[in-house]
């Protein structure tokens, strides 16, 4: 696979990113691709290792190691090295529905598990994947391929995020008639309104949706199932229903002063920004303004980082990002060996931009909010913070983050964005279909299954597994499609 000595001959190289102070002037993607020849040399670094953990997708140490889609990474890297881009595309799409999405937004679990990562730099698999799919689009290889035979079965998919789109694509490929219902005005779910434009430009979604429509998938927008459309009506019209509504119930911060104006959930902030950008390039003013404001983001992770990057692009005066947990190590610890996912410090694009603009990392670790203070107009103007330390709970034996006495401080803030994660699916959809929920308010199924407690109703994605990655949502959508197909036909060849 690749060139046996490639990892010794060629250094890892990735496409150049636009400098932070330049890219913050717009909401465009900012990573330039390598030339085809340079990309070929990067693929040559993929050696013929005995155990390719990159494609395993197995759980090690409680976290995924390698690609959850089980992408045949060494094989398509070999084709890229040989210059056979068409075969690379065909091999990539044997396992991956939407490589144009994952190659942009996935944290590259494959690279973390790469054997080269043990004693050097991993193969640039994520960029190789993007090069393959973008070249395939340019060469006209990605084109509609509608099924030649229809089964006469109808399936409704509720939600058009990555899991819903994956389920719809697979079920349509099998010959079932698929209709996707989306409550927003545009298709894409999390991909559309949860991920900022600079990470995933929306024409990339539109390009794929156009192909799916040409293949026979129907999309219905502004269709809020459980509110505008009754669950019983879908069950009457369709043979199966797949619920792919995401984990869209944000975790709140319940402290005094939470009702002050200027405090928003991250998901609402990001959605309003993207919608205004798409609708009018911000001319409609229907976004949450951050210009000249002191912004505080509560929570780390991808969503918190996206809030940092978005706030900076909207003209924030300063950005402070709070993280409850201690600062991660900059290198692997002995308790976190390869090929486990590396629990190390990651400085993402938003933090890079804050460092370039303000001169320091916006993150403050082991810190939480204890109170918000409002001015006479009811607008948030300050926040009381306290430091945290890790202590063992005497009753449970678990390590807990507890306040440090005497560590309180007050900071000035004008805009607060809560990016503290999600608690599960929004209850009204589950109630409409009368499906059971588990202890985390996700739709309950048997372990490894996708059939809910209600006959003919299935579920997939974050609504099923809880808040997770786009790549896991795609895997869930694919697996749910297999389960639906088997329930309809008595067997499945998906």
pLDDT one-digit tens code per residue, 293-333: 999 999 989 999 999 999 999 999 999 999 999 999 999 99
Give the integer Cα–Cα distance in Å for 395 and 373: 34
Fold: same for 6-138 and 263-418 = no
pTM score: 0.96
* CA angle (128 as vertex; 123, 132 as ends), nearest 5: 160
Q: Dihedral, CA atoms, 149, 151, 154, 156, nearest 10 degrees?
A: -60
Mean pLDDT along residues 392-412 = 91
Could you state, in order of their start, the residue ranges of all structural domains in the chain? 6-138, 154-248+423-489, 263-418
Q: 246-255, 273-282, 452-461: which has the minimum mean pLDDT?
A: 246-255
Tell me whether strands 380-392 and 409-412 are parallel, antiparallel or unpaired: antiparallel
Q: Which fold has domain 6-138?
A: Fumarate Reductase Iron-sulfur Protein; Chain B, domain 2 (1.10.1060)
Please check whether residue 266 is in contact with residue 179, taking contact to mean a CB–CB distance below 8 angstroms.
no
The C-alpha atoms of residue 11 and residue 21 are separated, in whole angstroms, by 27
**Radius of gyration of the chain measured on its C-alpha atoms:** 23
Report pLDDT digits (tens) over 133-171.
Answer: 999 999 999 999 999 999 999 999 999 999 999 999 999
In this prediction, residue 4 carries a pLDDT of 86
103 neighbors 15 (Cβ within 8 angstroms): no
Q: What is the per-residue pLDDT for 467?
A: 92
Q: Are strands 415-418 and 294-298 parallel, antiparallel or unpaired?
A: parallel
Confirm if 307 and 297 have CB atoms less than 8 A apart. Answer: yes
CA-to-CA distance for 170 and 166, rounded, in angstroms?
Answer: 6
The model's confidence at residue 50, banded by pLDDT at 50, 70 and 90, is confident
Structure tokens at 175: 């010959």
List the beta bridge partners of residue 383: 372, 411
Is the separation of the CB atoms in 45 and 116 below 8 Å?
yes
Percent of the chain with pLDDT over 90: 92
Those residues with Cβ within 8 angstroms of residue 410's Cβ, 6 or more apart along the chain or in another chain: 373, 382, 383, 384, 385
> Is the Cβ–Cβ distance between 342 and 336 less than 8 Å?
yes
Position 1 pLDDT exceeds 70: no
Q: Tell me the C-alpha distance between 367 and 325, whole Å.
A: 8
The pLDDT of residue 365 is 97
Beta-carbon contacts of 210 under 8 Å, excluding residues fewer than 6 positions away, are none
- Under a CB-based contact definition with an 8 Å cutoff, are residues 164 and 477 in contact? yes
**Measured between alpha carbons, how far is 290 from 129 in angstroms, rounded to an integer?**
35
Residue 93 pLDDT greater than 80, yes or no: yes
pLDDT band at 420 (very low <50, low <70, confident <90, very high): very high
Q: Are 444 and 452 in contact (CB under 8 A)?
A: yes
What pLDDT sits at residue 423? 86
Could you count the other beta carbons within 10 Å of the beta carbon of residue 285?
Answer: 8
Tell me which DSSP letter residue 379 carries. B
Strand order in the sheet with 218-220: 218-220, 177-181, 154-158, 240-243, 457-459
**Would you state the structure tokens that stand for residue 431, as one six-digit string?**
């109630």
Between 49-53, 379-383, 393-397, the lowest mean confidence (pLDDT) is in 393-397
pLDDT at 48 over 80: no
- 456 token code pair: 């003919």
Give me the pLDDT at residue 243, please. 98
Tell me the average pLDDT across 70-90: 96
* Cα distance between residue 296 and residue 408, in whole Å: 16
CATH code for the domain defined by 263-418: 3.50.50.60
* 424 confidence band (pLDDT: 50, 70, 90): confident
| Mean pLDDT of the residues in the chain | 96
CA angle 182, 187, 191 (to 5 degrees): 110
* Token digits of residue 488: 């309809």
Can you tell me the mean pLDDT for 359-373? 97
Mean pLDDT check: name the lowest of 40-54, 100-114, 199-213, 378-392.
40-54
**Statement: residue 62 has pLDDT above 90:** no
Question: Which CATH number applies to 154-248+423-489?
Answer: 3.50.50.60
322 Cβ contact list (under 8 Å, min separation 6): 296, 297, 298, 299, 363, 364, 367, 368, 369, 385
Nearest residue to 129 via CA among 95, 107, 103: 103
Give the pLDDT of residue 61. 87
Is 116 within 8 Å of 122 (Cβ atoms)?
A: yes
Q: Report whether 92 contacts 135 (CB < 8 A).
A: no
Contact in structure between 40 and 83 (CB atoms under 8 Å): yes
- Tokens 């607060």 belong to 416
């Amino acid at each position: 696979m690749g060139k046996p000595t490639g990892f010794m001959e060629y250094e890892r190289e990735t496409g150049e990113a636009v400098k932070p102070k330049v890219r913050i002037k717009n909401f465009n993607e900012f990573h330039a691709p390598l030339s085809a020849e340079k990309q070929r040399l990067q693929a040559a670094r993929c050696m013929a290792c005995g155990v390719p953990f990159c494609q395993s997708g197995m759980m090690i140490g409680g976290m995924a190691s390698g690609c959850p889609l089980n992408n045949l990474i060494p094989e398509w890297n070999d084709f890229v090295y040989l210059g056979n881009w068409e075969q690379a595309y065909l091999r990539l799409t044997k396992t991956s529905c939407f490589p144009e999405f994952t190659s942009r937004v996935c944290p590259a679990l494959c690279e973390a598990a790469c054997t080269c990562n043990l004693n050097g730099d991993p193969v640039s698999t994520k960029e190789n994947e993007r090069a393959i799919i973008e070249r395939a689009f340019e060469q006209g290889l990605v084109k509609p391929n509608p099924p030649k035979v229809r089964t006469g079965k109808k399936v409704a998919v509720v939600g058009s995020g990555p899991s819903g789109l994956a389920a719809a694509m697979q079920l349509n490929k099998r010959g079932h008639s698929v209709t996707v219902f989306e409550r927003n005005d545009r298709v894409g779910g999390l991909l559309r309104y949860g991920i900022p434009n600079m990470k995933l430009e929306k024409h990339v979604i539109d390009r794929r949706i156009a192909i799916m429509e040409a293949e026979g998938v129907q999309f219905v927008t502004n269709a809020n199932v459980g509110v505008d459309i009754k669950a019983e009506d879908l069950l009457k019209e369709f043979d199966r229903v797949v619920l792919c509504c995401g984990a869209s119930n944000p975790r709140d911060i319940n402290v005094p002063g939470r009702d002050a104006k200027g405090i928003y959930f991250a998901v609402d902030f990001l959605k309003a920004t993207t919608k205004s950008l798409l609708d009018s390039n911000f001319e409609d003013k229907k976004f949450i303004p951050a210009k000249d404001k002191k912004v505080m983001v509560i929570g780390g992770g991808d969503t918190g980082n996206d809030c940092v990057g978005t706030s900076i692009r909207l003209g924030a005066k300063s950005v402070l990002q709070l993280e409850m947990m201690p600062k991660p190590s900059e290198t692997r610890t002995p308790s976190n060996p390869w090929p486990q996912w590396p629990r190390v410090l990651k400085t993402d694009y938003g933090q890079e931009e804050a460092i370039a603009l303000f001169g320091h990392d916006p993150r403050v670790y082991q810190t939480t909010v204890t109170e918000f203070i409002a001015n006479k107009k009811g607008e948030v103007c300050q926040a009381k913070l306290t430091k945290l330390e890790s202590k063992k709970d005497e009753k449970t034996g678990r390590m807990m983050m507890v306040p440090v006495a005497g560590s309180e401080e007050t900071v000035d803030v004008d805009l607060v964005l809560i990016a503290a994660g999600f608690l599960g699916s929004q209850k009204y959809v589950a109630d409409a279909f009368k499906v059971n929920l588990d202890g985390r308010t996700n739709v309950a199924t048997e372990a490894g299954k996708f059939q809910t407690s209600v006959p003919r109703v299935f579920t997939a994605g974050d609504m099923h597994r809880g808040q997770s990655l786009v790549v896991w949502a795609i895997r869930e959508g694919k697996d749910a499609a297999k389960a639906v197909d088997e329930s309809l036909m008595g067997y499945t060849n998906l």
